[in-house]
Structure 1
Amino acid sequence: MIHSATPAGSPRRYGGVAILLHWLIALLVAAAFTLGLTMVDIPGLTPTKLKYFSWHKWLGVTVLALACLRLLWRITHGAPPYDAGMPAWQAKAAHALHGLLYLLLFAVPMSGYFYSLAAGVPVVYLGVLPLPVLIGPDQELKPILKQLHYALTMILAAGVAGHVLAALKHQFIDRDGVLRRMLP
């Protein structure tokens, strides 16, 4: 849904739960991204590399779970409307980017999960909770899922960069208070 102009008396900020989930997911996505780039650059199959792969998977599973909670919260609580002065094209662009980011918060971890399964490596969350094995090892599917996971991750990185740049533009150029909506 496209946000409408702010009516008098409407909340102009996200609530505490939405803010917490936003920043927690942002932090975990940044950590998973950084760890993913780091681990693939480690040559060979070392204990450190294996540990990083586990941590990366745990971060991905956590992001997926939190994204589910965030989507449920967003569906049941909505978002505060944009300021009446925001051009309609910007509101539509923001809505489209938010939709893309939500989609990728599901697609990136799921593609990594299926890539891991196709590689014959089950995911055991935090080293204690085995996740369901939905597909068996598949040497033909493995490189496709690896490339898909990478491509979706790069699209997510670009989307996050666009989201951050838009927030900074609103804060420092437009000075319209959009960023304050999501600050604690």
Structure 2
Amino acid sequence: MIKNTRHGYGAVAILFHWVMALLILGMLGLGLYMVRLPQSDPDAFALFQLHKSIGFVVLALAVLRLLWRAVNPSPKLPAEMPVWEKGVAHLGHTGLYAMMFLLPLSGWLVVSASPWGIPTIVFNLFEVPHLPVPGDKAATEALASTAHEYGAYFLILLIVGHVAAAFKHHFIARDETLKRMVRPARGARPIPGE
């Protein structure tokens, strides 16, 4: 099935999830590698352009994913989940969505406020204009850079928690939570305990 049901995710939501997961993990790994490179490294420029290019893809997919979610609500959580656990799950998902927007936007702001004025050429195809930065560009760049760096570390924590929760549901609770994100829903199959 393409769309979500009350009991499972559809193919579109699953595709969004896994494509974005791979892109974001790649971005985090690339970002951690890049910050350790000296600026004089001959690969630095190309890696930064790749990082920015993928960042814009992540931002575009995050917007599309949020729009898809608005018209195609997520399935219900298992009925046997405690209320506090459902609350933590909602907070975790909210944090993940927030970081999907904060990181690309803060990165874009860093580049826009930078005194170097280096353009962003997405996959060597087209240039993305810089954001308008009123006031003190140096202060804006410092703030955006801090948000980008610590946001990335926070995202890593959220991902670790997300994966741990998925494994807990699969191996300990033995419910359908993880399986729902692996295969599309097939009609209105009830969740055990509902």
Instruction: Mark the runs of 5 or more structure 1 residues left unpaired by the alignment.
Output: 1-9
Distance 2:44 2:17 in 1: 29
Q: Which residue of 2 aligns with 1:7?
A: none
Q: Could you say which residue in structure 1 is the equivalent of 2:74?
A: 79
Q: Equivalents in 2 of 1:12, 1:39: separation in Å?
A: 41
- Match for residue 91 of structure 1 among 82, 86, 93: 86
Question: How much has 1:170 moved relative to structure 2?
Answer: 0.7
Distance 1:24 1:66 in 2: 9
Task: State how far apart, in whole Å, the 2-side matches of 1:128 and 1:103 are.
Answer: 28
Aligned counterpart, 1:47: 42
Q: Which has the higher contact order (CA 8 A, sep 6+)?
A: 2
Cα deviation for residue 14 of structure 1 reads 0.5
Q: Secondary structure at the match of 2:43?
A: helix
In structure 1, give the amino acid aligned to 2:121.
Answer: V
128-137 vs 26-35, greater mean Cα deviation:
128-137
Measure the CA separation in 2 of the matches of 1:140 and 1:85.
49
Cα distance in structure 2, aligned partners of 1:81 and 1:70: 18
RMSD across aligned positions (CA) = 1.5
- Decide which moves more: 129-138 or 74-83: 129-138
Can you list the C-alpha shifts for 1:121-142, whole angstroms capped at 9, x where unaligned? 2322122222122235923322
Which aligned pairs between 1:32-181 and structure 2 lie closer than 5 A?
Answer: 32-119=27-114, 120-135=117-132, 138-181=137-180
Q: Give TM-score, length-normalised by structure 2.
A: 0.85
* 1:5 match: none
CA distance in 2 between counterparts of 1:127 and 1:183 reads 34
CA distance in 1, matches of 2:19, 2:155: 16
Q: Which structure 2 segments of 5+ residues have no match?
A: 184-194
Deviation, 1:11, is 4.1
Distance 2:8 2:95 in 1: 21
Aligned partner of residue 43 in structure 1, secondary structure: coil
Identity of aligned residues (%): 39
**CA–CA distance in 2 between the matches of 1:44 and 1:85?**
53
How many residue pairs get aligned? The number is 175
Q: Would the aligned equivalents of 1:112 and 1:145 in 2 still touch at CA under 8 Å?
A: yes
- Give the Å deviation of 1:94: 0.6
Give the conservation status (yes or no) of the 8 Å contact 1:171–1:177. Answer: yes
Corresponding letter in the other structure for 1:145: A
- Output the CA distance in 2 between the equivalents of 1:146 and 1:83: 39
